[in-house]
Structure formats: C-alpha cells, structure tokens
Chain A
Amino acid sequence: MAIILDHVSYVYEKGTAMEMAALKDINLVIPDGQFIGLIGHTGSGKSTLVQHLNGLMNPTSGHIYYNGEDIGEDGFNKKKLRNDVGLVFQYPEHQLFEIDVFSDVCFGPKNMGLSEKEVQLRAYEALKRVGLEDDYFYQSPFDLSGGQKRRVAIAGVLAMKPEVLILDEPTAGLDPKGRDEILDQIATLRKETGITVILVSHSMEDVAKYVDRIIVMNQGSIMYDDEPRKVFRHYRELEEVGLAAPQVTYIMQAFREKGYLVNTDVITIEEAKNEILRVLK
C-alpha cells in the first residue's frame, strides 16, 4: 500500500509561448507511515507535486498509483482519493467559513455522507488531536488567533480520516511556540495513527527535527531523496539551489575547520551539544 509516481511530468501551458515544465520525470515511492519533508526553493515544483498526489492536477505524462490503482484511469474514484489523501493548503485558515468552529470541522466528513453521529465524533476527535480546547468549539472561527485558526483548518482535514496527510507550509507566519506546537501534534498524530505525513517546509531546522526522509526538489526534478543527515551533508549544493542546512550543521563545519574531529552529520541542537562536549573534554 503506497503512492507510486512513475515517470511523472507536468508542463504548464503546453504548446504556447509560456510553456514551462514544472515536473520533470519524477519517480517516487511513498510507503505507508513515513514522515517525509519536501523542500525546495520557491518555484521548484513542490506545490505542483503535492497537488498530483490527490488528483487535483493530472500529469502531462506518466502515471500515479494509489494502493496499486492508476489514479488517471477512467472510473477511478477520485472523490475517495481526496478523502484518503488530505491536503492542507498554505494559509488554510483563509478557507474557514462556517459560523462556529465545530460546524467548520464537520463540513468535510458531512460531505462524505457519514451519519450525523459519526460526523460529530470525528470532528470532536480531530479538534482534540490539534489541541483545541472545548471552550472554542462554539465560537466563530474568525474570532480565534492565527495559530488557533490554523489548527481548526487542519482539524477539518483530519476529520476526514486521511491515510496520507500533506501539509503545505503549515507553520508559515506562526510564532516559534506555535510552530513547535503544531509540528509536535502532527508528529504525535502520526505516531498514534500510523498515517503518512508529507510536510512541505522552508524551515530546514523543522525538517531536520521531525522527518525520517527528505525529498529535495530543484527545477522540477528530485535532487536528493534520503534521510535528513545524509541530505544535509550536501549543504553547499543545497545553498546553490536556494536552500541551506540547519544552523547547527554549519557550527559543526566550523569546528572541523579548527581541526576538531566532530561528527558533521549533526542536525539537531541536542546532537551538536553532545558532539561538542565530547571533543572538548
């Protein structure tokens, strides 16, 4: 059970003067239960790629398989695919519209044709998952803070019980605590339910801390696809394509330059601390 992309390409405005290849021959296997970070500079093809995963966009050439079925085949149930592969867009709070928080989260499961009881159970569970207190349930979503609104929007997708959850920059514009809280909740959710999570992010520090696999996009192609510490070894190449490594990786390089044999594969503060303490003792 997985998502497989087989030679997927996508060209915008094909056959016109504006023709531009956004995805070039992408081959990917996304097995169940992975926590994947998708990084790349603006315009590298990340958003185009994730919109292919739930059939919002169709490849110009190539095939996408979800649990063994070609999603481009006639008769493939795209409605079900969009329930199974939940996509949380950037600034999802702009899509809130209901009169209260609880109704807003009910909207998705209600459209799946579930019983009212099931809809409410799911909405309740989803709101608990994102850490929203009961006090807020019957408030207008527009009276909440930025971070709370974002949680409600994520809960709206979670209530559909997706097997794959894709989040496009879920922490943009949030304060540092808000960033950590949302990512911690997503990590817990994944651990408890075993769903696949794909996190599109511009924060190398966040990606380093949470994911088990990083896919780096550059100009519509996959540049690296590996575990985080292996990807961040290429920090110079990453800089050339508008990215970077976490700040601690650079600190480790500085120690190396001074002749200290630290392990430069370090990507979190905790690891960096232990390495420095080791070489200084």
Chain B
Amino acid sequence: MGIIEAKKLVFEYIRRDEEGNVEGFTRAVDEVDLDVKQGDFMAILGHNGSGKSTLAKHMNAILYPTEGTIWVEGKDTTNEEYLWDIRQNAGMVFQNPDNQIIGQVVEEDVGFGPENMGVPTKEIWERVEESLKAVGMYKYRKHSPNKLSGGQKQRVSIAGVIAMHPKCIILDEPTAMLDPNGRKEVIRAVRALNQAEGITVILITHYMEEIIHADRAIVMDKGHIAMQGTPKEIFSQVEKLKELRLDVPQVTLLAYELKKSGINLPDGILTCEELMKELKL
C-alpha cells in the first residue's frame, strides 16, 4: 500500500442561501482514486475550482470524505485515533507564507511543530538545525521572519513542516506569491527534500515549468482526474491542456509550434537542453 491511497473519494459540500436554507450540493471531488508511493514526487494541476486543493486537504485530514476512503500510511483518515499521526506524517504548506509563520525568530518558528509533539528539547534543536539546512536557510536561523524575502519565508515554512519528520509533504501553490528567484529557491528545496531525504512530495501549482521534474502528474477537472501520466506524457497534449484551462512550459510550446511548421521534433519537450539535442545542434 502506498503512502497515500484513495478509493472512490467523494467530497460534497452543501450550498445555502441567505437564510441558511439548503440550495443544493456541489461535488468538489468526484470519485478520485489515488495511489502515491513513498518517495514519489507527484504534481497536481488543474484550473481554479477544479478540486485540487479540496483533494489535497483530504491528505492530512483537514477535510473528510463524504463517500469513499482515503488512507495515509494505511490509516483511514476518518478514524480520530490516527489524527495526530496523520497530521505529523503528512505536512502541509500553503500559498501565503505570512499566514504560516508565527515565531519571532526563524529557529523558534521551525521548532514550534516538534515542540508541540513533545519532542525532547535537545532533539528539537537538532531537528531545527537539520531542517533549516535542508532548505538552505540555516544561516538565517537567528533572523526575524519579517525581514526575509517571500521565497525565504516559504522555505522557513517548509523547514517547519519537515522538522516534524513527515513522510510526505503537500504544497498547495507554494510559489503563487513569489518572484522568479523565490520560485526557483522553493522548487529547488522541494526537489532536494524529495531526492536526498526521500520525502514524498505532492505539489499543486499553476506554473507548468515547476513540475517538469515530477515523477508523475495528475490533472483535475470538475472534481475528477482528467489526465495522468509523466510530465512528458501530460505536456505532449498541448491542445487538451488548453481545453482544461492550463498551459505548457514555454519551451514545450515553442517545440510544438516548430513541429507544426514542419520541423521534425517529438512531443513533450520539457527543457531547453532537450530541444537543442532533438534539433541535433
């Protein structure tokens, strides 16, 4: 069994009018099956309102399924007994770094999670150190989070999650508010965690070029999985992605346009190096 597995997962919420009368139901997640293996890097794409975030919030028991089941490390999330285990093993990072940082000093903020878990003081400091090193923020440990850039704040948020020693980290648009450099820093840190530490990564994003190194991607539409495969397989389908209100990285689109103009190129080119190689330059 994978670290995150879902069978026919459904989430419905009730719409109400001004007076609180029930108007109807909206199915935000519609019979989704998932199987994420330990150490996977999985991306979730999808337009606004496609159900990505609602699905992600099931992965650490912020939301519970209306129908179907989701297991984190084999534990059914609806079983309250497992709540703490699940929250600790599947950590979540959100879009706005300013809503996630609470400490006055970087290292205190990172220590907050393990402290709440009752980790002994000495070990807290060890964890803080290793987590900050893993995201390249160790030299800022004594700084005030207020003075950091967006990308740095977001890396501190990630350190705060990994200090709890999760097996899986779920990032819901972690780069939406960042400048180009901040985006690069965060994605680099996430990839390092996945490759060096073997932490399972679930990355939700609207920036297509951020997921080219993922092991696989799913594309959500109207609550269900509309496409899945490797980034190369997904990005080979330019027209279909556009129909789903998405896009492809610029280099992929350029290669696609060149192909349409008669240049012999395969589908799904993801990097500049690959393009140069395929053009035999």
User: What is the interface of chain A, defined by CB distance below 8 A to chain B?
Assistant: 40-43, 90, 99, 140, 143, 145-147, 169, 172-179, 202, 204-205, 239, 242-244, 246-248, 250-251, 254-255, 258, 260, 269-270, 272-273, 276-277, 280
Contact A247 B209 (CB under 8 A): yes
Instruction: State whether A277 touches B261 (Cβ < 8 A).
Output: yes
The smallest C-beta distance from B25 to any residue of chain A, in angstroms, reads 14
Q: How far is the CB of B212 from chain A (nearest CB, A)?
A: 11
CB closest residue in chain B, given A41 = B179
- Interfacial residues, chain B to chain A (CB-CB below 8 A): 15, 18, 46-50, 95, 149-151, 173, 176-183, 206, 208-209, 242, 245-247, 249-251, 253-254, 257-258, 261, 263, 272-273, 275-276, 279, 281
Q: Are B254 and A176 in contact (CB under 8 A)?
A: no
User: Is A173 within 8 A of B275, CB to CB?
Assistant: no
Docked CA distance A179–B47 (Å): 11
A172 near B47: Cβ-Cβ < 8 Å:
no
Give the 3 A-B residue pairs with the shortest CB-CB distance, closest first. Answer: A177-B245, A176-B247, A242-B181
7 example contacts (A-B, Cβ-Cβ < 8 A) are as follows A42-B149, A145-B48, A146-B48, A172-B177, A247-B250, A247-B251, A254-B275
| Interchain CB contact under 8 A, A248 and B254 | yes
**Residue among A42, A174, A250 with the highest chain B CB neighbour number at 10 A:** A42
Question: Is there an interface contact between B254 and A272, defined as CB atoms closer than 8 Å?
Answer: yes
Query: Are B246 and A246 neighbours in the complex by a CB distance under 8 Å?
Result: no
| Other A-B pairs, 12, CB within 8 Å; known A41-B179, A244-B181 | A41-B149, A90-B177, A173-B48, A175-B206, A177-B47, A177-B246, A178-B48, A242-B180, A242-B182, A243-B181, A247-B249, A276-B258
Q: Given A41-B179, A173-B206, A202-B178, A277–B258 Cβ distance below 8 Å?
A: yes
A232 → chain B closest CB, angstroms: 12
Cα distance A247–B273 when bound, in Å? Answer: 12
Cα A217 to Cα B176 in complex, Å, equals: 20
CA distance A205 to B47 in the complex (A): 19
**Complex: how many Å from CA A147 to CA B182?**
24
**A-B interface pairs (CB < 8 A), number:** 112
Complex contacts, B258 vs chain A, CB 8 Å: 273, 276-277
Q: Closest residue to B242 on the A side, CB-wise?
A: A177
Establish whether residues A42 and B281, one from each chain, have CB atoms under 8 Å apart when the complex forms: no
User: In the bound complex, how far is the Cα of B177 from the Cα of A169, in angstroms?
Assistant: 9
A276 neighbours in B (Cβ, 8 Å): 254, 258, 263
B18, B49, B50, B208: which contacts A176 (Cβ < 8 A)? B208
B265 shortest CB reach to chain A, Å: 11
Closest to B252 in A: A247
B245–A251 touching, CB < 8 Å: no
CB neighbours of B254 from chain A (8 A) = 248, 251, 269, 272-273, 276
Closest to A181 in B: B245
Asked whether, in the complex, the Cβ of A173 is within 8 Å of the Cβ of B173, the reply is yes
Q: Decide if B181 touches A178 in the complex (CB within 8 Å).
A: no
Minimum distance in angstroms from A141 CB to a CB of chain B: 13
Chain B residue numbers with a CB within 8 Å of A258 are 276, 281
For residue A250, which residues in chain B have a CB less than 8 angstroms away from its CB? 272
Q: Which residues of B contact A99 (CB under 8 A)?
A: 18
**A204 CB contacts on chain B under 8 angstroms:** 180
Q: Do A147 and B276 touch (CB < 8 A)?
A: no
- Shortest Cβ distance from residue B245 to the other chain A in the assembled complex, whole angstroms: 3
Q: Known contacts A173-B95, A175-B246, A254-B276; is A244 also within 8 Å of B180 by CB?
A: yes
Shortest distance between the CB of A140 and any CB in chain B (Å): 8
Q: Which of chain B's residues have a CB closer than 8 A to the CB of A175? A: 46-48, 50, 206, 245-246
Contact of B246 among A41, A176, A277 (CB under 8 A): A176
Q: CB-nearest residue of chain B relative to A42?
A: B150
Contact between A242 and B246 (Cβ–Cβ < 8 Å)? no
Does B206 contact A269, Cβ atoms closer than 8 Å? no
